[in-house]
């Protein structure tokens, strides 16, 4: 049997039963694919179910408010995915008459959809012969063909693409794409591949040459930038004070007034009075420090819980008042802010 049919046969008997594998609806496949970018299946599954329940049709998604979408997305990270999905859903409604596009090029034109996602939707929903290349596929192919060139360089990518095309199934593109991704996720895993029980072990060149754990070879590592954030949780009675973030990874999420970087000579009193007039009296009730990792950033976060004696007047006009229970409910927040609120609940119940 050929490698292609070995992998497809393995998939038929070993695949996980996941809801998006039972549908040909391109909207639901698109939802699952975007949710699963940079997210494990276990973590993404409840989000997928929540989105399908709240927005059964793409028009429901397009007509939702951004706050609604971000609230449902809360905790999943990489929030630009949710914002881009909203734009893409509106495009489908406005430019494609509410019908999800069915050609690879049209799918690729939607905001937030790259070649990988477009190939996945085109093959899973419309059976178009487009090979999907994600991290799992890169790993399986680089091992199977023992490709030593770095896969994050043009030469390595070219070799992977050619090798993949040589075993791609034009007759069953949807099953093949699912199969090789699942094979990478379950059998040919990054650190502990199950070579002993592998149905293609005899054909695997990396296994033969004892190079399994060296592959895939990557040259460039992403540089992680360090940054400091100091959040000021001002409270007056059952009110607290927030702002909407207007740029970056957390764009359109809500947060406490914040000072970013430049903290060598940090002075808490001066920092507080950069938000409040001098005559506002206040008391520091709690301080919480934590580290938070984003894809390219390592954040040291400091949260100050500050109780005010009178209703504050803020010097920065983009700060507004809400009821404390609405943060994270009506006003979506990042995972970092959630971490702080959780410890605060433990501390202040
Ligand atoms: Fe992956 Fe090991 Fe199978 Fe090769 S033998 S394809 S490295 S699981």
Rg for the chain, CA atoms, rounded: 24
The confidence score (pLDDT) of residue 347 equals 58
Q: What is the DSSP letter of 228?
A: E
Average pLDDT over residues 136-152: 95
Virtual torsion, Cα 317, 323, 329, 335, nearest 10 deg: 60
Average pLDDT over residues 89-96: 98
The confidence score (pLDDT) of residue 331 equals 94
User: Is a pLDDT exceeding 70 seen at residue 304?
Assistant: yes
> What proportion of the chain, given as a percentage, has pLDDT over 70?
97
| Ligand 1: residue whose CA is nearest its atom 2 | 195
Phi and psi angles of residue 234, each rounded to the nearest 5 degrees, phi first: -80, 135
User: Is a pLDDT exceeding 70 seen at residue 346?
Assistant: no
Distance CA 169, CA 79 (A): 34
143 lines ligand 1 (CB under 6 A): yes
Lowest-confidence segment of 40-44, 148-152, 292-296 by average pLDDT? 292-296
Is there a contact between 26 and 220 (Cβ–Cβ < 8 Å)? no
pLDDT band at 262 (very low <50, low <70, confident <90, very high): low
User: Is a pLDDT exceeding 90 seen at residue 242?
Assistant: yes
Q: What is the best residue among 180, 187, 190, 211 to mutate for testing ligand 1's pocket, by most ligand atoms within 8 Å of CB? A: 187
Nearest-atom number in ligand 1 for the CA of 139 is: 1
Name the packing angle between helices 3-14 and 173-186 (round to 10°).
Answer: 70
Provide long-range contacts, Cβ within 8 A and 24+ apart, for 131-136: 131/161, 131/164, 131/165, 131/168, 131/173, 131/176, 131/177, 132/177, 132/180, 132/181, 133/160, 133/161, 133/164, 134/181, 134/184, 135/184, 136/180, 136/181, 136/182, 136/183, 136/184, 136/185, 136/188
Distance CA 243, CA 253 (A): 9
Query: Pairing relation of β-strands 282-293 and 258-260?
Result: unpaired
Average pLDDT over residues 241-249: 90
Closest CA relative to residue 223, chosen from 274, 157, 298, 150: 298
Phi and psi angles of residue 33, each rounded to the nearest 5 degrees, phi first: -65, -40
Average pLDDT over residues 181-188: 96
180 lines ligand 1 (CB under 6 A): no
pLDDT band at 263 (very low <50, low <70, confident <90, very high): low
Average pLDDT over residues 18-40: 94
pLDDT band at 349 (very low <50, low <70, confident <90, very high): very low
Q: Where are the beta strands (DSSP E) in the chain?
A: 225-236, 239-244, 254-255, 258-260, 282-293, 297-308, 320-323
Distance 53 CA to ligand 1 centre (A): 38
204 lines ligand 1 (CB under 6 A): yes
- Percentages helix, strand, coil for the chain (3-state, rounded to 5) are 45, 15, 40
Burial class (CB in 10 A: 0-12, 13-18, 19+), 130: buried
Q: What is the best residue among 3, 136, 204, 216 to mutate for testing ligand 1's pocket, by most ligand atoms within 8 Å of CB? A: 204
Burial class (CB in 10 A: 0-12, 13-18, 19+), 286: middle
Active site (annotated) includes residue 33 = yes
Average pLDDT over residues 171-193: 95
Nearest-atom number in ligand 1 for the CA of 199 is: 3
Catalytic residue (choose from 33, 159, 182, 255)? 33
User: Is a pLDDT exceeding 80 seen at residue 264?
Assistant: no
CB within 8 Å of 149: residues ≥ 6 apart: 155, 156, 159, 217
For residue 71, the Cα-to-chain-centroid distance in whole angstroms is 14
Distance 328 CA to ligand 1 centre (A): 44
322 lines ligand 1 (CB under 6 A): no
More confident residue, 110 or 220: 110
User: Is a pLDDT exceeding 80 seen at residue 125?
Assistant: yes
pLDDT band at 296 (very low <50, low <70, confident <90, very high): confident
The confidence score (pLDDT) of residue 159 equals 96
Phi and psi angles of residue 300, each rounded to the nearest 5 degrees, phi first: -100, 115
Average pLDDT over residues 251-266: 84
Average pLDDT over residues 178-193: 95
Q: State the CB neighbour count (10 A cutoff) for residue 305.
A: 21
Q: State the CB neighbour count (10 A cutoff) for residue 187.
A: 20
Average pLDDT over residues 79-104: 96
The confidence score (pLDDT) of residue 240 equals 94
Residue pLDDT, tens place only, 45-84: 999 999 999 999 999 999 999 999 999 999 898 899 999 9
> What proportion of the chain, given as a percentage, has pLDDT over 90?
75
| Ligand 1: residue whose CA is nearest its atom 4 | 204
215 lines ligand 1 (CB under 6 A): no
């Amino acid at each position: 049997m050929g490698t292609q049919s070995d992998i497809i046969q393995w998939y038929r008997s070993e695949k996980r039963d996941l809801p998006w594998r039972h549908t040909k609806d391109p909207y639901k496949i698109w939802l699952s694919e975007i949710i699963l970018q940079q997210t494990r299946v276990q973590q993404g599954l409840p989000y997928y179910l929540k989105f399908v329940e709240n927005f059964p049709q793409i028009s429901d998604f397009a007509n939702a408010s951004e706050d609604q979408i971000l609230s449902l997305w809360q905790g999943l990270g990489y929030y630009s995915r949710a914002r881009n999905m909203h734009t893409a859903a509106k495009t489908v409604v406005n430019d494609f008459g509410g019908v999800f596009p069915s050609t690879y090029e049209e799918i690729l034109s939607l905001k937030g959809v790259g070649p990988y996602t477009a190939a996945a939707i085109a093959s899973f929903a419309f059976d178009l012969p487009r090979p999907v290349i994600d991290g799992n596929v890169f790993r399986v192919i680089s091992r199977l063909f023992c490709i030593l060139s770095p896969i994050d360089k043009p030469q390595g990518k070219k070799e992977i693409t050619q090798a993949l095309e040589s075993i791609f199934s034009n007759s069953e593109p949807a099953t093949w794409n699912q199969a090789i991704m699942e094979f990478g996720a379950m059998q040919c895993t990054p650190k502990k591949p199950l070579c002993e029980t592998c149905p293609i072990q005899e054909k695997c060149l990396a296994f033969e040459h004892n190079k399994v754990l060296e592959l895939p070879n990557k040259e460039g590592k992403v540089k992680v930038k360090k940054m400091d954030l100091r959040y000021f949780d001002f409270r007056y009675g059952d009110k607290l004070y927030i702002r909407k973030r207007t740029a970056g990874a957390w764009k359109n999420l809500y947060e406490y007034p914040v000072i970013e970087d430049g903290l060598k000579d940090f002075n808490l009193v001066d920092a507080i009075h950069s938000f409040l007039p001098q005559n506002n009296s206040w008391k520091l009730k709690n301080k919480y420090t934590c580290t938070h990792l984003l894809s390219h950033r390592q954040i040291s976060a400091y949260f100050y819980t500050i109780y005010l004696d009178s209703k504050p007047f803020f010097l920065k006009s983009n700060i507004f008042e809400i009821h404390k229970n609405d943060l994270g409910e009506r006003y979506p927040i990042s995972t970092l802010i959630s971490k702080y609120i959780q410890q605060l609940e433990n501390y202040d119940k």
